[in-house]
Amino acid sequence: MSACTKAVGTALVVAVLASAGSPDRVTAQGILNQFSSENLRPSAVQVDVGPLGGNNILGTLTGGVRVDYGFVAPKVRVLLGLSYFHADLSSAARRRFADRLRSVVNDPDSNYTINLGVITWSDVTGDLDLQYMLPQGHAVTAYLGVGLGAHVRHGSGPAIDGTFVQDALNSVTAGLNGTLGVEVGAGRWRLTFDSRGVLSSGLSTVSLRTGAMYRWAGGRARR
């Protein structure tokens, strides 16, 4: 075989290998290619309300509003949300704060009492959720979601206002949430039912929400 023939053969092998690439790389590129901002635009608005419970608060109601911002990938939609709740601090949480106060009180007779009274905790949350849509029929769509949230919290009470206890309750923190729900309806108006769990510093919550969604002309419920 001549040197020229060997060179041509080597060049062909290199070209084939370069064009093939690794299977993992091709698979990763295929997944990434499914994501696009082309279809991101407001398409629906939802209002919801329901009971909420948490590890440091008593049960209360929470309400929110969400905007369906369209699909970033097949069956994956983006939701922007804002929600709020106002709850009483649990007795266990108030007891921890009272113990913290006792640790800084110098009283040889130990005949003092600490009464924190009622302490409330409010939370305003902004969320960015990705929800994977699972159509169950013409008028029913289930969904699974994960998201990130920013929580702005404020504590108040006659005995703690202006103290370090209030400072400890006032915070801005991030949270991770998960959603499981169902959307019912085929027209512009839909009913939504979902459960939502939130993990964040100092307070984790679970809520069950019922809501109504209005989808205007041109909005797409699923892909």
pLDDT digits (tens, 9 = 90+) for 7-43: 544 544 444 445 555 555 544 455 555 656 677 888 9
Q: CA-CA distances (angstroms) from residue 181 to 25, 65, 80?
A: 34, 16, 16
Backbone angles phi, psi at 100, to 5 degrees: -65, -40
Is pLDDT above 70 for 142? Answer: yes
Predicted local distance difference test score (pLDDT) of residue 162: 85
Q: Are 77 and 70 in contact (CB under 8 A)?
A: yes
Tell me if residue 164 falls in helix, strand or coil.
Answer: helix
Beta bridge partners of 193: 182, 210
Q: Which of 199, 63, 58, 50 is nearest to 120 (CA)?
A: 58
User: Does position 60 have pLDDT exceeding 80, yes or no?
Assistant: yes
Question: The pTM is what?
Answer: 0.76
Higher pLDDT, 63 or 8: 63
Give every CB contact of residue 176 below 8 A, 6+ residues apart in sequence. 146, 147, 148, 149, 198, 199, 200
The answer, yes or no, to whether residue 80 has pLDDT greater than 90, is yes
* Out of 21-35, 45-59, 122-136, 192-206, least confident range: 21-35
User: Which pLDDT band holds residue 46 (cuts at 50, 70, 90)?
Assistant: very high
| Mean pLDDT for the chain overall | 82
Banded pLDDT at 67 (limits 50, 70, 90): very high
Query: Which residues, including other chains, have CB under 8 Å from residue 76's CB and lie 6 or more apart?
Result: 130, 131, 132, 133
Rounded to 5°, angle at Cα 23 from 20 and 24: 135
Residue type, 11: A
CB atoms within 10 A of CB 160: 23
